[in-house]
Structure 1
Amino acid sequence: MLHQIEEPCSLGAHAAVIVPPTWIIKVKKPQNSLKASNRKKKRTSFKRKASRGQQENKGRPFVIKPISSPLMKPLLVFVNPKSGGNQGTKVLQMFMWYLNPRQVFDLSQEGPKDALELYRKVPNLRILACGGDGTVGWILSILDELQLSPQPPVGVLPLGTGNDLARTLNWGGGYTDEPVSKILCQVEDGTIVQLDRWNLHVERNPDLPPEELEDGVCKLPLNVFNNYFSLGFDAHVTLEFHESREANPEKFNSRFRNKMFYAGAAFSDFLQRSSRDLSKHVKVVCDGTDLTPKIQELKFQCIVFLNIPRYCAGTMPWGNPGDHHDFEPQRHDDGYIEVIGFTMASLAALQVGGHGERLHQCREVMLLTYKSIPMQVDGEPCRLAPAMIRISLRNQANMVQKSKRRTSMPLLNDPQSVPDRLRIRVNKISLQDYEGFHYDKEKLREASIPLGILVVRGDCDLETCRMYIDRLQEDLQSVSSGSQRVRYQDHETSFPRALSAQRLSPRWCFLDATSADRFYRIDRSQEHLHFVMEISQDEIFILDPDMVLSQQAGTPPGMPDLVVEQASGSPVSSEDHAILQAVIAGDLMKLIESYKNGGSLLIQGPDHCSLLHYAAKTGNGEIVKYILDHGPSELLDMADSETGETALHKAACQRNRAVCQLLVDAGASLRKTDSKGKTPQDRAQQAGDPDLAAYLESRQNYKIIGHEDLETAV
């Protein structure tokens, strides 16, 4: 067996990110013999060098001596076990198993400085921060202090509560149970991008005499921010959360509980109106422009200086201003900071897609406060005494952004091997079965409930697949509620009330069934990053945490499978063809007749446009209204697969205000962008109709808030 013992280890599939054992050199213990002491007397200079090296090593029994290789991207993993829902302990163990334990560090035992010092000479080094945004900021500050050149890029595995920076860099809103092997591939293949970082310089307010300075701390918890700096209502809520967590840490052991506490604290502060007079006690000057009069006029109760697009657990307070605005779309690497004002109404509207009042995009800010005001720096809150705060650009950090499209699968790398259509069975699984059998794939497969069959394109992503599964659910509900004409696998039939199907809850998610050991959940915010072929070959499994086991009912034996086909390439019946021709010709009576004869309002034409797209393009308001009244709600925001345009985009391009009004009244999204990043407002502006663009913008604000005064409504 000698040849097997001496066989070199390849380090496996993740060899590029693993620190090889050959790099780790054991440090010899200092000798205490008389001979050694005599040698030290003669070579005092060596003694000084050795002691300095031991001091730098800080008692570690090893040092790192790398061997440079362009193919290697060694990874340092820092895990904060206390972040978010205390998931870090499990994550730490998994990374210890996959990697060399000498490259995985527990931040509850020691800070990142010693580890970064140890690996500072390693080329192509990458870092993975497992924790919240505060953990990432901590590591970036240490990298600033050590001045590593070049600075290693930092990826994020989100374990925190908000995870706004992780969302910005495509890492999602929270870790569920994705395989560590996939995370390592994503860090290795990720794109390196820049992140602006901003200085906060605090001094005493020179406009106030010392005797008028109120109680409060004299400095901020951090003097650098990566995400945002804010003052007012949101900081007051964060301060209450922080103080409560410090007093009772055992009550804040999950992201869900943390978010519920935020909601309760926000409502309490809203009733107390503690931030109502913020605008009277601040002065804001951006690049020499005094914004104070506007802040006082609009009576803002919160002011945010935003560096990244995400804020407050995934909301987008800057919004998506079009070309007709005075502001540019927000970027995290442009050297500008966005200044946004909020009232109580606009803060509440954030959770339903709203945005604040855009005030400025600037490079420098001077902020004066005249009373003690709650503030927060990247989620770290305090109550700061009256002060003068200067905000200026510090530097740019290298970050690892998760690639929009993963190309790690050989099947997707070869265009010839991607089939035109996939025929995949959909099965749902309850949370009880998932937790009981997730380490036994066969038992979990047996416990799953079949829903039907999807026929989709070979390059279909999960975000698109979700839409077709929802459509499948609507068909199942139609069948179970009465006699309904539906298309089955190879024929059409009428099937009266034979299928009992429990509707999926809004919280259902996809499961990755391709791993050898178990099934893994996929975060909904990352569905656009995964292809159907990446998680399954012939079956899709979805997890419904709210599925009631007592109501489970599968497909009765002998019953043909219900099929939902993607429109491109699917067989079109004569009635479906008649409906399509009627909409294109603008013939309302023929449309009604064909629909009553069994035609589908969900069909698409050869150019991948829905019926609503055609109706909006031709501008026939009566046909648009009929489709809206009788078709499913998913038609409203269904995108043309070639241009990414919705029906509202088409109507805006045609400058048809009546059709736009019908679509908006029905609930069409005014924030959805096409493949070029344009909203319907932008399309109306490009078509030369500024009045229509202004109308859509006003409807957007009205649709988001819903009331002229949200405080009165509450």
Structure 2
Amino acid sequence: MYTSLNNPPVSICPLGTGNDLSRVLGWGRYYNKKRLVTMLQQIPNAQPIVLDRWQITFEQLAITNPIEESQNLRRCLSYFLDHPKFVRETDRSSYQNYRASLNVRFTNYISFGLDAAVVLDFHDRRIRHSSKFTSPFKNKLIYPNTSRKYVREFALWRAWNLTPYMRLFCDGENVTNSIRHCYTVVLLNIPRYGSGTHPWSRISSTTIRNQTDRFDQIRSSTFQSPDSSDYIPKDSRFTTSYTFNTIISTTSSTNTEQIGKQDISERKIEVLGLDSMQMALIHIGFRGHRIAQCSEVRIELIRSMPVHMDGEPFYLPQSIVVNIAHAGQVLMLRKETS
């Protein structure tokens, strides 16, 4: 049926801790060995959908005036306020051992800042003491204990932010001022983040189903190799020029119509920020600070920064640029709902 496609549609088995992509595609939030046979039987009835993927590239950041940068850091922080732990303690072993990204492409999300620092410490602890991390349930119990290392950073709500440490550009526009209260910056490709939260907006049950209809309309198109950066259906609707949307400074569900809804195949990525309170509130249904929807993101790291990309954390040195751009699309299988 799909002989014209170079990559077969792929299904998801939720073996991880968060399983955000599995939730989006309807395969569940956790693994249940008693339902494995049932899940395998559901695969032939699953529907193919198109999923965007994104690529990161790095380049050196030229600091034109180091003295001015140092003065900016002092101005942004109160004289009595120290830098956050993940900026101060750059010689920690958990940072030295994870200096490079294992992958250059992602499909779920990539985050920078406090949330990524907690994930990196958790990951390093799990590697060192793997016998204590024997199930997703245990992992979720251990995770809050790991975040206690940053209780000071969480407690100083809006007393510090990421603006002294990075510059953010969305489709060429400098939007760094929009993260002036944020501890974490997230680039979100799917509706779920951090074990099932919806930090961008609520998504209806029909939104993902609509992707199935889109696939039915374009499945006769010719796809290039999934390893190609041009792996995009040859369909006129996918050649639309995507422009930078109006910046929204709201953390609730209000004004949701002023910024686009999420679509996992529209070749846009959602950029949002979280302060310490929002990092907790998104788990009970609140939203983050929505910044933009765009097709390209440039992040200039002035100081060293932890990064979390699709479950793989790492630590980047200062004076580096992270460029994020669309890297084609792949086919996934969405579980048919009853």
TM-score, normalised relative to structure 1:
0.34
C-alpha contact 2:183 2:276 (8 A) present in aligned 1: yes
Deviations 1:70-122, CA, capped at 9 Å, x for gaps:
6xxxxxxxxxxxxxxxxxxxxxxxxxxxxxxxxxxxxxxxxxxxxxxxxxxxx
Deviations 1:116-158, CA, capped at 9 Å, x for gaps:
xxxxxxx86xxxxxxxxxxxxxxxxxxxxxxx95201110110
Deviations 1:179-231, CA, capped at 9 Å, x for gaps:
44321221111000011000100112222689x9x876664332111100101
Alignment of 1:545-564 (within 5 A): none
Alignment of 1:57-96 (within 5 A): none
SS of structure 1 residue aligned to 2:164: helix
SS of structure 2 residue aligned to 1:359: strand
Alignment of 1:245-256 (within 5 A): 245-256=126-137
Matches of 1:300 and 1:323, distance apart in 2 = 20
SS of structure 1 residue aligned to 2:137: helix
1:300 corresponds, among 169, 182, 189, to 182
In the alignment, which residue of structure 2 is the partner of 1:193?
Answer: 49
Matches of 1:272 and 1:322, distance apart in 2 = 28
C-alpha contact 2:154 2:276 (8 A) present in aligned 1: no
Structure 1 residues 244 and 304: alpha-carbon distance in aligned structure 2, compared to 1, 3 A threshold: same
Structure 1 residues 280 and 209: alpha-carbon distance in aligned structure 2, compared to 1, 3 A threshold: closer
Q: What letter corresponds to residue 392 of structure 1 in structure 2?
A: A
Does 1:262 pair with 2:159? no
Matches of 1:395 and 1:266, distance apart in 2 = 35
Matches of 1:209 and 1:337, distance apart in 2 = 32
SS of structure 1 residue aligned to 2:266: coil
Structure 1 residues 283 and 274: alpha-carbon distance in aligned structure 2, compared to 1, 3 A threshold: farther
1:220 corresponds, among 101, 108, 111, to 101
Matches of 2:119 and 2:146, distance apart in 1 = 8
In the alignment, which residue of structure 1 is the partner of 2:314?
Answer: 382
Q: Which has the higher contact order (CA 8 A, sep 6+)?
A: 2
Matches of 2:255 and 2:184, distance apart in 1 = 27
SS of structure 1 residue aligned to 2:116: helix
1:166 corresponds, among 9, 15, 22, to 22
For the pair shown, which has the larger CA radius of gyration, 1 or 2?
1
Does 1:289 pair with 2:145? no
Structure 1 residues 351 and 188: alpha-carbon distance in aligned structure 2, compared to 1, 3 A threshold: same
C-alpha contact 1:284 1:290 (8 A) present in aligned 2: yes
SS of structure 1 residue aligned to 2:103: coil
In the alignment, which residue of structure 2 is the partner of 1:373?
Answer: 305
Deviations 1:652-683, CA, capped at 9 Å, x for gaps:
xxxxxxxxxxxxxxxxxxxxxxxxxxxxxxxx
Q: Identity over aligned residues, as a percent? A: 33
Matches of 2:41 and 2:254, distance apart in 1 = 36
In the alignment, which residue of structure 2 is the partner of 1:394?
Answer: 327
Matches of 1:204 and 1:219, distance apart in 2 = 14
C-alpha contact 1:203 1:389 (8 A) present in aligned 2: yes
Q: What letter corresponds to residue 331 of structure 1 in structure 2?
A: D
Matches of 1:324 and 1:245, distance apart in 2 = 38
After the TM superposition, which segments of 4 or more aligned residues of structure 1 sit over 6 Å from their partners? 214-217
Deviations 1:154-175, CA, capped at 9 Å, x for gaps:
1011011010000010111012
In the alignment, which residue of structure 1 is the partner of 2:267?
Answer: 335
Structure 1 residues 218 and 178: alpha-carbon distance in aligned structure 2, compared to 1, 3 A threshold: closer
Matches of 1:338 and 1:272, distance apart in 2 = 25
Alignment of 1:121-520 (within 5 A): 149-207=5-63, 219-272=100-153, 276-296=160-180, 299-320=181-202, 325-386=257-318, 387-405=320-338
Q: What letter corresponds to residue 315 of structure 1 in structure 2?
A: T
Matches of 1:263 and 1:218, distance apart in 2 = 24
Q: What letter corresponds to residue 191 of structure 1 in structure 2?
A: Q
Q: What letter corresponds to residue 379 of structure 1 in structure 2?
A: G
The alpha-carbon deviation at position 178 of structure 1 amounts to: 3.8
Deviations 1:399-430, CA, capped at 9 Å, x for gaps:
0000122xxxxxxxxxxxxxxxxxxxxxxxxx
Deviations 1:262-318, CA, capped at 9 Å, x for gaps:
11122331335599442221100101221111212xx20000000000010111110
Q: What letter corresponds to residue 203 of structure 1 in structure 2?
A: E
Structure 1 residues 322 and 196: alpha-carbon distance in aligned structure 2, compared to 1, 3 A threshold: farther
Q: What letter corresponds to residue 63 of structure 2 in structure 1?
A: D
Alignment: residue pair count: 258
C-alpha contact 1:202 1:219 (8 A) present in aligned 2: no
In the alignment, which residue of structure 1 is the partner of 2:219?
Answer: none
Alignment of 1:665-704 (within 5 A): none
SS of structure 1 residue aligned to 2:299: strand
Matches of 1:291 and 1:258, distance apart in 2 = 35
Runs of 5+ consecutive residues of structure 1 not aligned to the other structure: 1-69, 71-122, 125-147, 406-714
SS of structure 1 residue aligned to 2:286: coil
Q: What letter corresponds to residue 285 of structure 1 in structure 2?
A: F
The alpha-carbon deviation at position 389 of structure 1 amounts to: 0.8
Structure 1 residues 323 and 189: alpha-carbon distance in aligned structure 2, compared to 1, 3 A threshold: farther
In the alignment, which residue of structure 2 is the partner of 1:456?
Answer: none
Matches of 1:323 and 1:264, distance apart in 2 = 36
C-alpha contact 2:272 2:289 (8 A) present in aligned 1: yes
Structure 1 residues 181 and 218: alpha-carbon distance in aligned structure 2, compared to 1, 3 A threshold: closer
Structure 1 residues 388 and 402: alpha-carbon distance in aligned structure 2, compared to 1, 3 A threshold: same
TM-score, normalised relative to structure 2:
0.71
Matches of 1:378 and 1:243, distance apart in 2 = 16
C-alpha contact 2:11 2:43 (8 A) present in aligned 1: yes
SS of structure 2 residue aligned to 1:283: strand
Q: What letter corresponds to residue 343 of structure 1 in structure 2?
A: D
Matches of 2:59 and 2:151, distance apart in 1 = 30
Runs of 5+ consecutive residues of structure 2 not aligned to the other structure: 71-89, 203-252
Structure 1 residues 396 and 315: alpha-carbon distance in aligned structure 2, compared to 1, 3 A threshold: same
